[in-house]
Amino acid sequence: MDGPPPSARSHFADFDGSSRPTTGRNDDDSRRQNHGGAGVSPEEYNILNRRVDRMEYSIGTVVGKIDSALDKLEALERVKMRHREEMKKLITESKTAASDAAARQLLEEGVNKEMHRFDADNVTQ
């Protein structure tokens, strides 16, 4: 087919563009006329540059705090994983104990040891 269908051709033939609504293009043209296309003055540039510098500093501070918090969370996660592994080891050892009393003794010693290690980890953080 060559072009739009006949009904669309007649519709577009009536369209001359004068009934188009105003768009941002007209606003852009009027802004260019008002400012002469010269851009930003050096004074405005310096003000904006200082504002950008302050924003970058503020953002950098926030990013630093977020990084610090993430590092602490990762350290806590590592400690948690280590404690979990120790507890698994304790449970496995207690299951292989000869009697209930021996198993209880192993668990008690292991838990006390782990609690002391946990307290030491919390003091260093």
For 74-123, write each residue's pLDDT tens digit. 999 998 999 899 888 888 888 887 888 888 888 888 888 888 887 777 66
Kindly tell me if the per-residue pLDDT of 62 is higher than 90.
Answer: yes
Beta strands in the chain, from DSSP E residues, in sequence order:
none
Give 36's DSSP letter. Answer: T
Identify whether the C-beta of residue 107 lies closer than 8 Å to the C-beta of residue 94.
Answer: yes
Distance CA 119, CA 115 (A): 6
79 contacts 71 by C-beta, under 8 angstroms: no
Per-residue confidence (pLDDT) for residue 12, from 0 to 100: 47
Q: Are the CB atoms for 79 and 121 separated by under 8 Å?
A: yes
